[in-house]
Chains A and B, each alone.
Chain A
Amino acid sequence: MPFLSRSLPTPLALAVVSSLRPVSSDVREVGLGKWSGVGLAADQLSYSETNVASTVAAETASRRREGSSMPTVLVVDDDRAILLLAEKCLSPIADVVKAETAEAGLAALKKNSFDAVLLDIQLPDRSGLAAYCEIREIDNKLPVIFMTIEAASNTAIEAMQLGAFDYLAKPLAVDPLRDLVEKAIEQRKRTSVPVALSADDDVKKGDSSELFIGRSKAMLQVFKDIGRVSKQDVPILIRGESGTGKELVARALFQYSHRYDAPFLAVNCAALPDNLLESELFGHEKGAFTGAESRRIGKFEQCNGGTLFLDEIGDMAPHVQAKVLRVLQDQRFERVGGNNELTTDVRIVAATNRPLEQMVEDGEYREDLLYRLNGVTIELPPLRERKDDVRLLIQHFLSQAKTQLKKPNLEGLAPETLELLMAYDWPGNVRQLRAVIRRCVLDASMSVIFSDILPREIQRLDGGRSRDQTPAMPMKKVEGTGLPTLVDRLLDEKSTNIYAQSMEYMERYVLVRILQETDGNQSQAAEMLGITRGKLRDRINSYGIILESGVSFK
């Protein structure tokens, strides 16, 4: 559609033409007459002092009075060609109000409400960034799109860091401009919805431990157990799935114990090979093994009088189990390669997600050690069994992330976002929930978090991924070459469980490959893999590996 019809100029066209300095005082008549098919030499034109903004604003107000329900966009730029382009481009989707200075733009903002702002980075009376900060003070939910001739400038980057909706490089193009403004208007509508969960009210002021956030029956039992046993000098075994907070319970037991002013040390038994684990726990003498250049003091010695947390105690070689048992029974041990018997006064708190009883039956774990550890057990429920606590935890992590990630303008979660988070099963438990919330806060560009920035497995509302479910990959044919594709897909889905899923993929491949190599002989396979037979059996069961003629998945 021609912008300026030569026979019937649109009212908007009149308004723009009236910005031309007239040769008579009657702006519109002269402008119209001059435009009606008569050739104009550009150097014969002169322009009025008429403020374009006021002209169009009057027309906009008139349209509004007529009951227009169009959104309104404020365009602030001292380049009149840009104002013209923006007006023409956006008039199908919004009423446009124009301002040539930051002052005029801010004055318009204070008087009227807008759905989006287009703002030039450099204005005659102040910088676009300074104007942006003032706009945020007036309305911090208003999407602001910067326009800049230098797209990669530091100013543009700084604008994005300050929370601008987006920026456009000049020269402007009609289609991208319209698309972006439409998105901004849509975002404005969505942020007008009240948040379902505020990021301001932390359930746990002053106490940053998420362990104590919970009103479910299962967690109340955990709190009672901690209270009951913390001051007793007995070993504790904490049981629960990965990510349920076992280390937090261990620390709570320590903090509420008589040993709170003595050391607390933690060792992850699954993270170290068996020989290194023994050295880590009990120390070694110089020359005890290749690489033992000097004596090393182990954790049992360092922690004398304190508390030692043995995480993943199910992943411990038999000979290390025996030494730990001796410490539990007699408080005595020797360093690796040493002959001197040493004593220690350590309270052991252990944790596991392994089925120790089954491992005892299979001969993979010492029954006497389990008996010693199992005297007092604290069971941590998986998050899916304490759904009542999910909302409280979300609120806590949201408030925490808002502060730590410096997002002062964050208001909270949109209703549909909260609904999806509440419906998800959280196979990674509290750790996964925390990671997802932090990621959402980091990715959020507006004051309200919408569901489109959630990881895809949560958006799908499929009830979550079960612990045994793997990403789509060839099950029958174990190739092992799909790892890069898997990681790329998980990145694309904004998964917060990439490490676990990737390790699971790798582990499956390695186990099946080695078992194929040993023709299903688990003892040989365990030896080649450098893991205990019990660990291998555990993995075989959880991955559904069938050991018949040939090795395959279920």
Chain B
Amino acid sequence: MTETQRKRFAAALGRLADDEDLLIAMGFIVLDDAPAVIRDLETYVAASDLGEVASTAHKLKGLMSTFETDGVVVTIQDLIVSAKVGDQCECERQMAACKPELKKLMSEIRAIVEAGSA
């Protein structure tokens, strides 16, 4: 990992006792699993299946929180709350807000995985 990447994911590394290889290995898994979860989430939001939105968003939050505990994770938490109270409009809004944040975080994770593989 580069120095910039270490700083970016300092909190995550701290939780993993500075084991960069472990973080990278977890990154592999997140990159593999997260896209399908995100697709499912979009589908459930579009279908107004708020029960599934809450549980899928919960799963996505778990995946992402390995790397970040604020930013997109907070937005996902808001989405969970909105789904639980049955607010479809808010769910759609928060899903829309999530997407660019998720894309950004995933690309940062990809970068450290690629750096680790180099």
Residue ranges of B at the interface with A (Cβ–Cβ < 8 Å): 12, 14-17, 19, 21-22, 25-33, 55, 58-59, 61-63, 65-66, 69, 110, 113-114, 117-118
- In the assembled complex, how far is the CB of residue B59 from the closest CB belonging to chain A, in whole angstroms? 7
Instruction: Please indicate which of the listed interface residues B25, B27, B30 has the most CB atoms of chain A within 10 Å of its own CB.
Output: B25
B17 touches A81 (CB 8 A): no
Query: Which listed segment binds B: A82-90, A342-350, A541-549?
Result: A82-90
B31 neighbours in A (Cβ, 8 Å): 42-43, 45
A81 touches B30 (CB 8 A): yes
B63 touches A3 (CB 8 A): no
B33 touches A80 (CB 8 A): yes
A172 touches B118 (CB 8 A): no
- In the assembled complex, how far is the CB of residue A521 from the closest CB belonging to chain B, in whole angstroms? 69
A80 to B21, CA, bound (A): 16
- In the assembled complex, how far is the CB of residue A76 from the closest CB belonging to chain B, in whole angstroms? 14
Offer 22 A-B interface pairs, CB within 8 angstroms, sorted by A.
A3-B21, A4-B21, A4-B25, A38-B117, A39-B118, A40-B113, A40-B114, A42-B31, A43-B110, A78-B59, A79-B63, A80-B29, A81-B63, A81-B66, A85-B16, A85-B66, A122-B55, A171-B12, A171-B69, A173-B15, A174-B15, A174-B19
Please tell me if A26 contacts chain B, counting CB pairs below 8 Å: no
Known: A40-B113, A42-B114, A81-B33. 20 other contacts (CB 8 A): A3-B22, A16-B25, A39-B118, A40-B114, A41-B114, A45-B28, A79-B33, A79-B62, A80-B33, A81-B26, A81-B30, A81-B63, A84-B22, A84-B29, A85-B16, A149-B62, A170-B62, A170-B65, A171-B12, A175-B17
A43 neighbours in B (Cβ, 8 Å): 31, 110
B16 touches A174 (CB 8 A): yes
B58 touches A85 (CB 8 A): no
- Interface residue ranges of A1-22 to B (CB < 8 Å): 2-4, 16, 20
- In the assembled complex, how far is the CB of residue B113 from the closest CB belonging to chain A, in whole angstroms? 5
A122 neighbours in B (Cβ, 8 Å): 55, 58-59
Query: Chain A at the B interface: mostly helix, strand, loop or mixed?
Result: loop
A388 to B118, CA, bound (A): 75
- In the assembled complex, how far is the CB of residue A12 from the closest CB belonging to chain B, in whole angstroms? 11
Please tell me if A47 contacts chain B, counting CB pairs below 8 Å: yes
A41 neighbours in B (Cβ, 8 Å): 114
A2 neighbours in B (Cβ, 8 Å): 21
B32 neighbours in A (Cβ, 8 Å): 42, 45, 47
Q: In the complex where A4-B21, A42-B113, A43-B31 touch, is A79 in contact with B69 (Cβ < 8 A)? A: no
For A65-84 the 0/1 string (1 means CB < 8 A from B) is 00000000000001111101
A257 to B25, CA, bound (A): 80
A16 neighbours in B (Cβ, 8 Å): 25
> Which of A20, A82, A88 has a CB less than 8 Å from the CB of B19?
A88
Instruction: Please indicate which of the listed interface residues A2, A81, A88, A174 has the most CB atoms of chain B within 10 Å of its own CB.
Output: A81
B16 neighbours in A (Cβ, 8 Å): 85, 173-174
B55 neighbours in A (Cβ, 8 Å): 122
B69 neighbours in A (Cβ, 8 Å): 171
Nearest residue, chain B, Cβ from A174: B17
A174 neighbours in B (Cβ, 8 Å): 15-17, 19
A200 to B56, CA, bound (A): 45
A88 to B16, CA, bound (A): 10
Q: In the complex where A45-B28, A81-B30 touch, is A39 in contact with B62 (Cβ < 8 A)? A: no
A85 neighbours in B (Cβ, 8 Å): 16, 22, 26, 66
Q: Which interface class (under 10, 10 to 19, 20 to 34, 35 or more) fits A?
A: 20 to 34
A47 neighbours in B (Cβ, 8 Å): 32
- In the assembled complex, how far is the CB of residue B57 from the closest CB belonging to chain A, in whole angstroms? 10
B117 neighbours in A (Cβ, 8 Å): 38-40
- In the assembled complex, how far is the CB of residue A22 from the closest CB belonging to chain B, in whole angstroms? 13
B25 touches A3 (CB 8 A): yes
Nearest residue, chain B, Cβ from A82: B62
Nearest residue, chain B, Cβ from A80: B29
A442 to B89, CA, bound (A): 47
Instruction: Please indicate which of the listed interface residues A4, A39, A79, A172 has the most CB atoms of chain B within 10 Å of its own CB.
Output: A79
> Which of A3, A39, A79, A170 has a CB less than 8 Å from the CB of B114?
A39
- Interface residue ranges of A148-187 to B (CB < 8 Å): 149, 170-175
The 6 closest A-B pairs by CB, nearest first: A173-B15, A42-B31, A3-B21, A81-B26, A171-B65, A81-B29
- Interface residue ranges of A77-136 to B (CB < 8 Å): 78-82, 84-85, 88, 122
Nearest residue, chain B, Cβ from A45: B32
B22 neighbours in A (Cβ, 8 Å): 3, 84-85, 88
A149 neighbours in B (Cβ, 8 Å): 58, 61-62, 65
A172 touches B15 (CB 8 A): yes
- Interface residue ranges of A359-383 to B (CB < 8 Å): none
A122 to B51, CA, bound (A): 13
B28 neighbours in A (Cβ, 8 Å): 20, 42, 45
B19 touches A3 (CB 8 A): yes
A175 neighbours in B (Cβ, 8 Å): 17
A3 to B65, CA, bound (A): 21
A80 neighbours in B (Cβ, 8 Å): 29, 33
Nearest residue, chain B, Cβ from A39: B117
Nearest residue, chain B, Cβ from A173: B15
A38 neighbours in B (Cβ, 8 Å): 117
- Interface residue ranges of A207-253 to B (CB < 8 Å): none
A40 to B112, CA, bound (A): 11
